[in-house]
């Protein structure tokens, strides 16, 4: 039996959805995008073009829910399905868009540069616990205006796994699309076998900014999946009660699904988010708070009941270094995400709310993910009878190590961690240098990076990608991009 | 009687009871108490208590917000009375704050606004996605000595520089201090664009504002 977390009663889920629909009518949704307002008006919503408020009747949103696919795949760069959005499949990618990196040596934050992100992409490739890449850092060695597309450019040169990404502007989305098309070998090929999903973020409460709304519409029209990242901040930009924050999330996501499906019926879209409970002492947005995880799991349950694929930012920490707080917060969120059956869990490696990526934390988080995955495989009955034959065979002898049954099953029954987790004796630990988890994660990271095999990118594709990215950079006054690191 | 009333006003502000604070201040004015006395012996000590309670962990941000709102609504009744007497409340200073153009992140900026009001600043919060010219116009209108610019995106940080340049262009730069903040903003950026200071959170923004206003 697979263990599952149901955090809301079924009747509460129904009530949340009902109230979500009602919010679409009153007070309605603010939509700062002409294209979307036009689509909504045409579909029959009551649109005030001056105040940019759309009042969306339930039947329009219901139709959108009908046409949104309940399942789709992302493909790796060999063309094989690698990520399944749908059902209760649980997959993981690193937290995205960090504006700083925790330096491996000093363990202090600094702005990331090209070499950091490339190293990160390689590490993600090498960690089997991670199913997808993300555009995890914003490099500070290029002009800000291309911060979004440059990350994708770098990743596309080194990755095999699919990628979770996002655009910061309306125009740069087109450059990012052009690069994805180049890699996929055409627009149709990309739509047929998408290799990327774009995060699109409504602003709480109940607002679609021009930029993110346009990104979502453009994705839908081209057939690139998008992922809703609704982020009610309970007590600040959303009601303080957890259930009410989930209602706000529901309304924001319903409006997103509606606009997306009006742009193109059947476009793949994910019910996701990054909510938080507001920290009432510091005014921050803690991702490591149990209340945050509860809102996440609740809206995932709502999304599932509507038949949509799901996503959540979970498994992160608000700590500033890789310490006990980082471990405890990341474990809690990751395990809850796994139990809730979130299709894509974004967050590995992330510290300091959602602002800092750490190589070492990523390596440690991979172990947490390994354990969480094992947990949701559940306890299975492998033999019938379960134990009678096994125990009667040995009687009172404690000799199971020599039993073929043990060799047959132990690797499937147990999750066996890497050297990051210390399970040796005190003596052995002292002899090995009395290392901390951080030390061991640093060593394991280096080991994995040594084993990274470059993806064979043809000279033609490499040149085309560089041409596209450089062209965009020149539009913003940067003549040449930094050279790509070797390998 | 008047001492009793001032104590009650103090208590209401500390509790964040906006309606009661307003009523009691009206009563106090009607009973002939001087507006300046209501401020000095009612409102200011109340906000000091609130500040202390926040510092020691007893109060949280919502308490602070409620108390600041109670004080502000009391001040609305008091200010016309001050004007009649040709008096002015010498607060900590006047600040114009907002999230810069292209950026709609609200909460950090609003929090700074609340904390500044709670610490005696007169705050003009222009909201989010504020055009460069709106900052300049508001500084001109209010004679503010402090401008706070928030930006949560790497793509909108550059607008902070534009506001500073516009203040220079309008000949206002010498009389205002500019402070900048927001997740991607660091001290180095503040130095680069010629801001007078950077604060990483709302609490340090208050310290910075006091220092810049020469009251810290």
- Shortest distance between the Cα of A280 and any Cα of chain B, in A, equals 5
The answer to whether A171 contacts chain B (CB < 8 Å) is no
ipTM of the complex: 0.85
Contacts of B155 in chain A (CB under 8 A): 144-145, 147, 168-169
The 10s digit of each residue's pLDDT in B118-132 is: 888 989 999 999 999
pLDDT band at B1 (very low <50, low <70, confident <90, very high): low
- The answer, yes or no, to whether residue A184 has pLDDT greater than 70, is yes
Note the pLDDT of residue A487: 65
Across B37-92, the runs of DSSP E, i.e. the strands, are none
- The answer, yes or no, to whether residue A169 has pLDDT greater than 70, is yes
Which 145-184 residues of chain B touch chain A by CB within 8 A?
153-155, 157-158, 183-184
Give the residue on A whose Cα is nearest the Cα of B202.
A283
The 10s digit of each residue's pLDDT in B6-62 is: 999 999 999 999 999 999 999 999 999 999 999 999 999 999 899 899 889 999 999
Average pLDDT over residues A196-223: 97
Percent of chain A whose pLDDT exceeds 90? 98
- Shortest distance between the Cα of B95 and any Cα of chain A, in A, equals 20
- Shortest distance between the Cα of B61 and any Cα of chain A, in A, equals 5
Average pLDDT, chain A: 97
Give the residue on A whose Cα is nearest the Cα of B184.
A99
Average pLDDT over residues B87-91: 82
Give the residue on B whose Cα is nearest the Cα of A236.
B107
The 10s digit of each residue's pLDDT in A41-64 is: 999 999 999 999 999 999 999 999
Give the residue on B whose Cα is nearest the Cα of A235.
B62
CA distance A255 to A64: 9
- Shortest distance between the Cα of A290 and any Cα of chain B, in A, equals 19
Note the pLDDT of residue A297: 98
Average pLDDT over residues A177-193: 97
pTM above 0.95, yes or no: no
pLDDT band at B80 (very low <50, low <70, confident <90, very high): very high
CA distance B159 to A33: 22
Average pLDDT over residues A137-142: 96
Contacts of A99 in chain B (CB under 8 A): 154, 183-184
Interface test with A, best of B66, B103, B183 (most A CBs within 10 A): B183
Note the pLDDT of residue B215: 56
Note the pLDDT of residue A370: 98
DSSP class of B130: B
Interface test with B, best of A283, A318, A351 (most B CBs within 10 A): A283
- Is A144 close to B57, i.e. CB distance below 8 A? no
Note the pLDDT of residue B117: 85
Average pLDDT over residues A357-371: 98
The 10s digit of each residue's pLDDT in B167-181 is: 999 999 999 999 999
Least confident of A90-99, A310-319, B12-21, B51-60: B51-60
Note the pLDDT of residue B153: 84
């Amino acid at each position: 039996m697979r263990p599952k977390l149901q955090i809301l009663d079924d009747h509460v889920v129904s009530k949340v959805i009902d109230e979500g629909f009602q919010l679409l009518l009153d007070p309605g949704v603010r939509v700062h995008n002409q294209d979307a307002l036009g689509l909504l008006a045409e579909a029959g919503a009551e649109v005030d073009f001056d105040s940019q408020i759309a009042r969306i009747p339930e039947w329009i949103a219901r139709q959108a829910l009908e046409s949104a696919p309940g399942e789709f795949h992302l493909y790796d760069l060999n063309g094989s399905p690698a990520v399944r959005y749908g059902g209760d499949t649980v997959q993981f990618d690193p937290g995205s868009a960090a504006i700083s990196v925790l330096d491996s040596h000093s363990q202090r934050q600094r702005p990331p540069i090209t070499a950091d992100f490339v190293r990160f992409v390689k590490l993600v490739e090498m960690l089997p616990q991670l199913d997808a890449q993300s555009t995890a850092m914003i490099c500070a060695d290029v002009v800000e205006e291309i911060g979004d597309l440059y990350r994708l450019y770098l990743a596309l040169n080194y990755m095999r796994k699919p990628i979770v990404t996002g655009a910061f502007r309306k125009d740069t989305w087109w450059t990012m699309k052009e690069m994805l098309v180049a890699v996929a070998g055409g627009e149709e090929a990309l739509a047929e076998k998408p290799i990327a999903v774009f995060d699109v973020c409504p602003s709480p409460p109940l607002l679609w900014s021009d930029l993110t709304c346009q990104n979502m519409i453009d994705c839908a029209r081209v057939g690139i999946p998008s992922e809703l990242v609704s982020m009610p901040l309970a007590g600040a930009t959303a009601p303080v009660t957890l259930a009410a924050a989930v209602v706000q999330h529901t309304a924001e996501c319903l409006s997103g699904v509606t606009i997306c499906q009006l742009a193109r019926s059947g476009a793949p879209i994910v019910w996701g988010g990054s909510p938080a409970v507001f920290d009432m002492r510091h005014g921050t947005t803690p991702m490591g708070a149990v209340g945050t995880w509860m809102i996440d799991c609740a809206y995932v349950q709502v999304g599932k009941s509507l038949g949509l694929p799901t996503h959540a930012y979970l498994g992160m920490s608000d700590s500033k270094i890789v310490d006990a707080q980082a471990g405890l917060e990341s474990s809690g969120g990751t395990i809850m995400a796994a139990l809730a059956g979130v299709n894509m869990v974004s967050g590995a490696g992330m510290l300091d709310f959602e602002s800092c990526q750490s190589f070492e934390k990523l390596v440690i988080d991979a172990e947490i993910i390994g354990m969480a995955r094992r947990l949701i495989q559940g306890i299975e009955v492998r033999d019938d009878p379960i134990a009678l034959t096994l125990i009667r065979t040995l009687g009172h002898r404690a000799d199971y190590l020599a039993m073929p049954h043990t060799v047959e099953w132990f690797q499937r029954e147990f999750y066996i961690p890497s050297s990051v987790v210390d399970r040796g004796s005190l003596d052995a630990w002292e002899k090995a240098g009395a290392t901390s988890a951080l030390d061991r994660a640093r060593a394991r990271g280096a080991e994995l990076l040594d084993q990274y095999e470059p993806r064979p990118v043809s000279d033609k594709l490499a040149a085309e990608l560089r041409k596209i990215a450089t062209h965009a950079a020149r539009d913003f006054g940067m003549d040449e991009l930094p050279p790509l690191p070797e390998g | 009687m008047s001492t009793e009333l001032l104590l009650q006003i103090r208590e209401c502000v500390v509790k964040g009871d906006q309606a009661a604070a307003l009523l009691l201040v009206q009563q106090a004015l009607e009973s002939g108490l001087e507006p300046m006395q209501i401020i000095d012996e009612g409102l200011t000590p109340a906000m000091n208590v609130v500040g202390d309670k926040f510092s020691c962990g007893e109060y949280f941000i919502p308490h602070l917000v409620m108390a600041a709102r109670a004080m502000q609504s009391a001040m609305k009744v008091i200010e016309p009375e001050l004007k009649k007497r040709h008096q002015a409340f010498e607060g900590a200073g006047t600040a114009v704050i907002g999230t810069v153009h292209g950026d709609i992140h609200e909460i950090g900026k609003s929090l700074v606004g609340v904390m500044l009001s709670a610490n005696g600043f007169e705050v003009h919060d222009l909201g989010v996605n504020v055009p460069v010219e709106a900052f300049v116009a508001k500084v001109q209108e209010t004679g503010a000595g402090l401008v706070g610019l928030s930006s949560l995106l790497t793509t909108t940080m550059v607008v902070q520089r534009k506001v500073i340049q516009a203040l220079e262009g309008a000949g206002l730069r010498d009389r205002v201090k500019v402070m900048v903040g927001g997740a991607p903003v660091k001290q180095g950026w503040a130095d680069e664009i010629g801001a007078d200071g950077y604060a990483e959170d709302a609490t340090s923004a208050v310290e910075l504002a006091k220092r810049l206003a020469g009251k810290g």
